[in-house]
């Protein structure tokens, strides 16, 4: 990804406002020191540096964020920031001056044919908006009324072996990053208020299912609602709700995997952390 420096400026400004005093360590590599908000830090031992993609990466050798990616998230949270605040943002405009989606996630049928997409718009006033857009064979058009609804990543679910756990997370972006570490993950469009359609149950019936909510109320509520539906629908011998313990409020699996990647953990190590969360999950139901 090309670094958009004007955009990076905004990110730095926001970041430096949050950390207060800091000291430039190595201008050539754009690295800075600041006081770690998590441990008693007299020496300004925390570090911030510029990643290849224009975002800010932070770490604290005293807290050993290299081996404790969740502590990195605690530092970011203590600074009053979200992980996404440290990421470069792209703004796209089409030739008519209309805002193009910042990101879009395609929903496909079993055979990989696109049915619709969920498009995210980052509006000039800083707000975000999501919209479903149906594929009419030539282009995406606003709205998806009457279009068959499917689980995100349905082709991957169909391809996966029957013993492989299907992870249900809130949002396509999280499903994508779980896919990057070798897990099969799915989501439903439009977030925690989304209806759970009967065909979603059919797509995953008989498979081990792990539902991983974000660390916030609506998301946990969604997880419990879907778990309840699957239990009643039947055919789920292995079903779990897996809370991510130790995350800051509103933290999620995307933040955690992002932080693990900043620690240069391997795919296997990251998926093992997630597997451990499932194995240790207190909300696990089994039927015999």
Determine which residue in the list 8, 19, 48, 63 makes contact with Zn ion, applying CB under 5 A.
63
Determine which residue in the list 9, 20, 53, 62 makes contact with Zn ion, applying CB under 5 A.
62
Could you tell me which stretch among 57-65, 159-167, 208-216, 275-283 binds Zn ion (CB under 5 A)? Answer: 57-65
Task: Let me know: does 12 contact 57? Beta carbons within 8 Å.
Answer: no
Pairing of strands 103-108, 114-122: antiparallel
**Which of 69, 83, 82 shows the shortest CA–CA distance to 273?**
69
Task: Let me know: does 242 contact 283? Beta carbons within 8 Å.
Answer: yes
- 207's enclosing H/E stretch is none
Closest approach, Cβ 46 to Zn ion, in A, equals: 6
Q: Which two tokens stand for residue 153?
A: 């990543």
With respect to Zn ion, which residue has the nearer C-beta, 36 or 240?
36
Q: Which two tokens stand for residue 98?
A: 């209309």
Could you tell me which stretch among 56-64, 112-120, 165-173, 187-195 binds Zn ion (CB under 5 A)? Answer: 56-64
Rule CB under 5 A: is residue 39 a binding residue for Zn ion?
A: yes
Could you tell me which stretch among 33-41, 114-122, 169-177, 212-220 binds Zn ion (CB under 5 A)? Answer: 33-41
Binding residue count for Zn ion, defined by CB under 5 A: 6
The 3-state DSSP class for residue 62 equals coil
With respect to Zn ion, which residue has the nearer C-beta, 62 or 231?
62
Closest approach, Cβ 41 to Zn ion, in A, equals: 6
Closest approach, Cβ 65 to Zn ion, in A, equals: 8
CA distance 227 to 243: 13
Could you tell me which stretch among 60-68, 123-131, 250-258, 259-267 binds Zn ion (CB under 5 A)? Answer: 60-68
Rule CB under 5 A: is residue 36 a binding residue for Zn ion?
A: yes
CA distance 18 to 118: 33
With respect to Zn ion, which residue has the nearer C-beta, 66 or 82?
66
With respect to Zn ion, which residue has the nearer C-beta, 34 or 107?
34
Count other C-beta atoms under 10 Å from residue 99's C-beta.
Answer: 14
**Measured in Å, how far apart are the chain's first and last C-alpha atoms?**
50
Give me the residues that bind Zn ion (CB under 5 A), please.
36, 38-39, 60, 62-63
């Amino acid at each position: 990804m090309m670094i958009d420096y004007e955009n990076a400026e905004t990110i730095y400004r926001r970041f430096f406002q949050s950390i207060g005093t800091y000291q430039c360590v190595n201008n050539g590599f754009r690295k800075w020191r600041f006081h770690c908000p998590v441990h008693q830090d007299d020496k300004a031992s925390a570090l911030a540096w510029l990643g290849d993609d224009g975002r800010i990466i932070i770490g604290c050798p005293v807290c050993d964020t290299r081996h404790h990616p969740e502590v990195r998230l605690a530092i970011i949270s203590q600074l009053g920031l979200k992980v996404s605040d440290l990421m470069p943002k792209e703004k796209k405009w089409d030739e008519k001056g209309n805002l193009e989606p910042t990101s879009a996630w395609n929903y496909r049928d079993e055979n990989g044919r696109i049915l619709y997409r969920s498009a995210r718009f980052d509006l000039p006033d800083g707000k975000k908006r999501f919209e479903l857009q149906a594929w009419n064979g030539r282009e995406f058009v606003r709205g998806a009324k009457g279009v068959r609804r499917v689980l995100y990543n349905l082709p991957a679910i169909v391809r996966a072996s029957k013993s492989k756990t299907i992870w249900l997370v809130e949002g396509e972006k999280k499903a994508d990053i779980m896919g990057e570490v070798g897990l099969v993950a799915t989501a439903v469009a439009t977030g925690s208020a989304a209806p759970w359609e009967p065909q979603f149950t059919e797509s995953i019936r008989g498979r081990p299912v792990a539902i991983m909510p974000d660390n916030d109320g609506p998301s946990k509520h969604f997880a419990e609602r879907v778990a309840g539906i699957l239990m009643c629908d039947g055919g789920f011998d292995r079903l779990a709700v897996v809370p991510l313990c130790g995350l800051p409020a509103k933290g999620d699996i995307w933040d955690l995997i992002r932080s693990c990647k900043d620690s240069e953990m391997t795919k296997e190590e990251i998926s093992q952390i997630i597997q451990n969360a499932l194995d240790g999950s207190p909300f696990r139901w089994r039927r015999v």
